[in-house]
Structure 1
């Protein structure tokens, strides 16, 4: 069972190569409007969207995100931020205190930004566009903030490359439903067996995708990912932006 919307969602793949065709301003506006209609906790809308089309800025952002060339090559690059600057401005209108120094607030901003980004991505795909999310926007957040003139209380959460696809990659397999979807309780009894099956599936996927050059399993990738700290500098950057979580 399915429909056009679920088929669109379930056909997801990341696109990192784009044609030279520009994205019309009307489409960009519709994509950002779709982002604004994402759900938001308590209707505070703790996010902002930056539309980057200036080639020199895209080039610099490609460098800052880890030399990801598709940031430079995509026709339009969006940056979705958790934004408490606007909320601070609103509270000042009422001479109210601004109790921002809570983990919950950072989580709300990150969740709002993620929901906005996904809405935007789906809207883009509905126009025949493709793209890829860029977590590397958090690699060098101070430099990104300076480049984009982000004010206090604004934190870049993710980037989104968008353009007309110049590739059609194979879909990367997802975890078995039984390992993700639980009913009435967390069903962990068969988890190891399910992960063994998924490891085999992902190993075959990488073998086919790389013509035998890679044979990573999912659990191997996860183990490698969590073996070292990830972006420990973010805590200091968030503090510098005015949010003190200590």
Structure 2
């Protein structure tokens, strides 16, 4: 327990700095050399793209550090990030209380073969950070095969700051590596933070339930160093009528933590 506490303190101190740094950049505008994304842009010749995925695919496939800056707007697409090398994605914002950039998609397991394929945003790389962006899977509720991810993530040294993640069932999959979520808003109803292999900390986040169910589902194997930590966060009902119908978590395996 002492080791986990020390790790938590160290991560909170470091990532609290990273949170304020990223928010300052988002308000100041795009850093020099950033790849720019602007909804409905018609000119990619100056490094400006209309789709986030196109910007991601334009990056060199090497270990260089890269920045993508996204102007305010709604981006209807699925985004997959697997490139090597540190990557920072920043959403434009003018307010500490709301984000101007939204990535939205609608898909559930009833339409595809795996949970992973439903995700609006998939991040499977190390040294990744994202600031001030909302990510939504708008599929909603289903009687079966309703898994509909906003975010699927695996990789070490990942950070998500002042972001919003919206879904109903299985909003966030943390399934490998290390993730830090700070000052994020996370919405769902059924197992909306779940995973088997990741080590994730949710610090000063808002976890908002929109239906009855369990917030977390954790399913590591025997001896696996996997954990979900919720620290200094707020848990609330986003709709009426949920008294005694929402639970912090359920074991997805006998080794859940």
Larger strand proportion of the pair? 2
TM beyond 0.5 = no
TM-score using structure 1 length: 0.27
Larger helix proportion of the pair? 1
Report 1 or 2 for greater relative contact order, CA contacts < 8 Å, sequence distance ≥ 6: 1
State the structure with more CA Rg: 1
TM-score using structure 2 length: 0.26
